[in-house]
Amino acid sequence: MGVQETAEAIRSMEIRGAGRIARAGVRALCEVAEGHQGGRDELLRDLEEAKEHILSSRPTAISLWNGVQAAMHGVDRLEDAEAVRARVVDNSRAFIERSERALESIGRIGAKRISDGDVVLTHCNSHAALSVIKEAHRQGKRLEVIATESRPWRQGIITVNELAAEGIPVTMIVDNAVRSMMRSVDLVLVGADTITSSGVLINKIGTSQIALIANEARVPFLVCSETYKFSPITLFGELVEIEERGRAEIIGDADVPDSVTVRNPVFDATPPEYIDSIVTEIGMIPPFAAYEVIVKILGHDYIFENKE
Ligand code: RI2
């Protein structure tokens, strides 16, 4: 898949999920480098153009930004095309491998928080959250999952199908049923599109309501997130842009006059006060440690060279 096709597949949500879009964007950049016949400057220009094109596909998940920055890391300093090509290919492979390994580590670390007999509620379709659930199941823990439908895209259907295929008992509910069901839930596990330097979680629309409800019912609310979903640019005061998609995704072919405004924000913000812990590949961290993760794990070099 080339750059245009990848960007379009991300935009149309054929490729979706914060981790998957990052890996797809990185793969597309890697292919630009691999297949390039031109000189250094031309290669750098084409990579830059490809990067911008990929980044314009969806604005919210910082995983995509972190992924393409990682793929391009250090290339400016290199003096010939071959070195640039090799660097982008190495960087890209390293990012993809690290990202896949992170999912496994999150599964192992998070599974410790699931006890035999637990009922886990999850929202949308997060590979990171599902990694935890599947690992607990593999370890022989009996658990049940309640999965929200996640309007309007109904990613909950992917979630329930994935869990059912693993033999994990799963119940699907409409998003509005979360408060009614919370009394039978032991743990909430959600994914992340972006985590800001102050520990705010940006995730699928409806996540913040679930966090409030879990807080009211004293049910632990855990976020499953690779460290590349932490946002370095929020350190410099950037706000996270919340994607808004079209009205057709909400109303379908229902007869609604054009005079009616239909809003379709795709993500919302959950304050750190409502998050018990973030399960990352480096361990369970409190949301208030997000700043440390950005500075220490993503690295000074990485941040200060790439903040624009
Ligand atoms: P993983 C999804 O976004 C959801 O918000 C989900 O929680 C998040 O990405 C993380 O996904 P969308 O692409 O990386 O469906 O854990 O809008 O798979």
- Cα dist. 303→117, 198, 219, 232 in Å? 43, 16, 35, 6
Q: What mean pLDDT is predicted for residues 116-138?
A: 98
pTM, two decimal places: 0.95
- The percentage of residues in the chain with a pLDDT greater than 90, rounded to a whole number, is 94
Q: Buried b / exposed e across 299-308, counting CB within 10 Å, b at 16+?
A: eeebbeebee
The per-residue pLDDT for 307 is 46
C-alpha span between 91 and 105 (Å, rounded): 21
- The percentage of residues in the chain with a pLDDT greater than 70, rounded to a whole number, is 97
pLDDT single digits (tens) 33-45: 998 999 999 999 9
User: Minimal CA–CA distance to 275: which of 206, 188, 197?
Assistant: 188
**pLDDT band at 118, cuts 50/70/90?**
very high
- Residue 274's contacts (CB-CB under 8 Å, 6 or more residues apart) are 208, 211, 212, 214, 215, 221
CB contact at 8 A, 204 and 123: yes
* Mean confidence (pLDDT) of the chain: 95
**Is the model's pLDDT at 308 over the cut of 50?**
no
**Is the model's pLDDT at 302 over the cut of 60?**
no
Instruction: Kindly tell me the number of DSSP H helices and DSSP E strands found in the chain.
Output: 12, 10
> Domains plus CATH for the chain?
3-102 (1.20.120.420), 112-305 (3.40.50.10470)
**Is the model's pLDDT at 276 over the cut of 90?**
yes
C-alpha span between 181 and 179 (Å, rounded): 5
pLDDT: which is higher, 247 or 296: 247
**pLDDT band at 137, cuts 50/70/90?**
very high
Centroid of ligand 1 to alpha carbon of 119 (angstroms)? 21
Helix or strand run (H / E) with residue 221: strand 221-224
Q: Give the residues surrounding ligand 1 with Cβ less than 6 Å away.
A: 16-19, 124, 126-128, 155, 190-193, 203-204, 266
Mutate to test the pocket of ligand 1, among 126, 159, 243 (most ligand atoms within 8 A of CB): 126
**Is the model's pLDDT at 301 over the cut of 70?**
no
Catalytic residues: 124, 193
The per-residue pLDDT for 58 is 95
